[in-house]
Amino acid sequence: MSRRLISSGSEFETSIGYSRAVVDGNWVMVSGTTGYDYDDMSVSEDVVEQTEQCFKNIESALHQAGAEMADVVRVTYIYPDAEDFPKCWPVLQRYLGEIKPAATMFSAGLATPAMKVEIQVTALKQSS
């Protein structure tokens, strides 16, 4: 199976030069995804709302790749303010609580101050 690139249409992908996700065989690698609504390139000021939007964006990329949240085996969370992480646990629990992928969280600056979270996932599609 050949490598396939998935795009969300985000201006960041074109400007920077990356794909929202890359599919290689049964593997799906979803790039670090922020809380922007790609339809209108808006972003909430609320970290919990941004976290929710991250997962909506990730779900969309996974769907385009023929995968779903249940296929996620690894997740990385990046929060500029580590104190925001616990506020977002209910959202994380709703999306990944039953799946329980391997996970890492770290605190680091993001590309712009408007970005309060970035989430990256790796999925392994189940054989059909």
Closest CA to 31 of 60, 66, 2: 60
Could you state, in order of their start, the residue ranges of all structural domains in the chain? 4-124
pLDDT value at 75 more than 70: yes
Average pLDDT, the chain: 94
- 82, 16 contact by CB (below 8 A): no
- Per DSSP, the residues of 40-104 read TTEE-S-HHHHHHHHHHHHHHHHHHTT--GGGEEEEEEE-SSGGGTGGGHHHHHHHHTTT--EEE
- 26, 32 contact by CB (below 8 A): no
What is residue 10's predicted lDDT score, i.e. its pLDDT?
77
pTM of the entire predicted model = 0.92
Q: Which CATH superfamily is domain 4-124 in?
A: RutC-like (3.30.1330.40)
What is residue 128's predicted lDDT score, i.e. its pLDDT?
52
pLDDT tens digits, 13-56: 888 888 899 999 999 999 999 999 988 989 999 999 999 999 99
pLDDT tens digits, 59-68: 999 999 999 9
What is residue 121's predicted lDDT score, i.e. its pLDDT?
98
